[in-house]
Chain A
Amino acid sequence: MLLGRVNRTLTSALCVLCFSACVQAVPPDLLAALETIDQDMIALRAPETAPEEYRAFVRQWIALKSRAEFDDDVIRWPWETSELENELRGLYLRGERTVSQLHDRQASRQRTAQSKVASIEDRFHHMTSQVASIDGRIVLGERVVQTDLLVKQARTFFEQKDYQRAIQVADEANQALMNQASLLTQELGRYADGERIASWQAMAQQTIDWSRRHQSSAIVVSKAERELTLYKNGRKVLSYPVRLGFNGIREKQFQGDGATPEGRYRVTDKRGPGQTQFYRAFVLDYPNAEDRRRFDLAKKTGQIAPGKGIGGLIEIHGVENQFTEQTLGCVMLDNPNMATLFESVPVGTPITIVGALTGQNAVALALSQLTNHNNREEI
């Protein structure tokens, strides 16, 4: 009886000893630390920006967590090593390393995005101001707002800390800017073309020579410099600034394109007060034979749509009033200058309109600056 009681006591004591000596296989703080690693990765947008790395971490994390949750290897003797704990610790170390790498990558991506977005904004503003300075905005059509949209989108994505998309959209904006520069060069490259400038110089010189030979007046208008020069007897008498059509920098192609024609013309009519809505005006013989030949050829080759007309009534004129200073392809002067010119120029006076008279003209310089700026700032 006594022996039985002793046995029971000893057995109970052994059991208590055994159970108290057992330890949990996974310290709860290790699981909590891994949860934190997971949250850190999510905060660093690893699932979107580093999906492979995140997936690899999560696969192991889920597998080990389920082992812990389903009591696999949960209780062990103190002298036993816990395989599960070791694996969790290994995953924690790898996770910590990944978080650190992601953090570095995120910081680097932020710097890249910041630099790209700032650069594209700078280049866009530079291009906008250069294009505005040569009235070339119309040449670019809707491309300007399209690029502006991309630039603004890149900034918004950056502010939302979506650096990857900010970089992607900034790259698209960069490409759009390159296309714009290329289009401008294609459309306005003639202002930087030596042969074309030489031909314009020759046209202007012939007009000046005509003025000298005939002891008469002649006018030369340079579109790039926005300048009208009056010659008398082959000598320069005065120069006035002018405004052109809203698309004046381009070569005139058809009616309503807002471009100012280039060529040799004559004053066919002078319109004084009551005869023009634009203060005073010289009517030019546009379109002349050369303009018609060019127009017909462009139509034949499909460069101009069949329904388009060649236009007409190109004038050198003053300003109607302060609300309506406008021109759709003419050459416009301020009224006091127009008054002086009106007195000095008779009907029949030759007027030569050229793109530019020097290689260093405003359009060529703007194009060159755009190209240089693009090359320097290219991202």
Chain B
Amino acid sequence: MQSRVFLVPITLAIVMTAGCADPPTQQIQEAEKALKEAQESGASTYSPDEYAKLEGTLDTIRKEVSEQDGKFALFRDYGKAQQLSISAKSESERIQVATAQKKEEGKAAAMQAQQVAEEAVRAAQQLVAKAPVGKDRAAVEAIKNDVEGLQSLLKQVQDSIDKQDYPAAQTQAKAIHDMSQGVQTEIQNALAKVGRGKPPLSRRQ
């Protein structure tokens, strides 16, 4: 009998503790902060499906907390919200790392394409300097015009890289490379036809 009496305060203490369960505010705030950081790192662009799932998890956490808040104090259980918050935070951090990696890969690919395009434009410029002022002066001027245009288009590639729009930078660089090669072929064909002579242009007009 004496030992049973001893159990009463223990039981009461347990009930009181359980009844005073608090929402895992700190974990939720950390998860929300991690989600915001993931968004700022570009996760919504580079990992849109995973980012949407994170948003879904945060939404579920909020609903769960609200559901538990609505219950009688003794029956509240924030365990699920806590576990979800912890997993959302670690998932956000993982996605941030993955996003940074994807961005780096995209940037590296864009910069490589940019370099290839720059080399192709440079080669076209060098060839244009040797271009024969041949049968069709208008065509030669048009080629020069195109090469100048290609040079200025390279700025667009840099702009896209600066804006972190790496897919656009890559497609632009690829197009510039293809166009430069087209110009080079055009000039090489002309050189093959008429030789490498280029007369001085000393006249007014």
Contact = CB atoms under 8 A, between A and B. Distances in A.
7 contacts: A42-B49, A59-B59, A63-B56, A144-B146, A145-B149, A149-B176, A320-B199
Contacts of A329: 205
Contacts of A130: none
Contacts, number: 155
Contacts of B148: 142
How many residues of A sit at the interface, in one of the four size bands?
A: 35 or more
* 3 closest A-B pairs by CB: A47-B48, A145-B149, A62-B56
Interface of A: 38, 41-42, 47-48, 51, 54-55, 58-59, 61-63, 66, 70, 72, 132, 135, 137-138, 141-142, 144-146, 148-149, 152-153, 156-157, 160, 162, 165, 243-248, 255-256, 258, 309, 311-314, 320, 322-330
B138 A149 contact: no
Nearest to A137: B142
Nearest to A328: B205
B168 interface: yes
Interface string B163-205: 0000110011011101100000000000000110111010111
A145 B168 CA distance: 16
A17 B167 CA distance: 62
A89 to B, nearest CB: 19
Interface residues of B, number: 51
A149 B179 contact: yes
A59 B205 contact: no
Contacts of A255: 204-205
Given A312-B205, A324-B197, A58 B52 contact: yes
A331 to B, nearest CB: 11
B203 A313 contact: yes
A138 B199 CA distance: 22
A325 B194 CA distance: 11
A47 B174 contact: no
A51 B172 contact: no
B83 A70 contact: yes
B27 interface: no
A248 B83 CA distance: 77
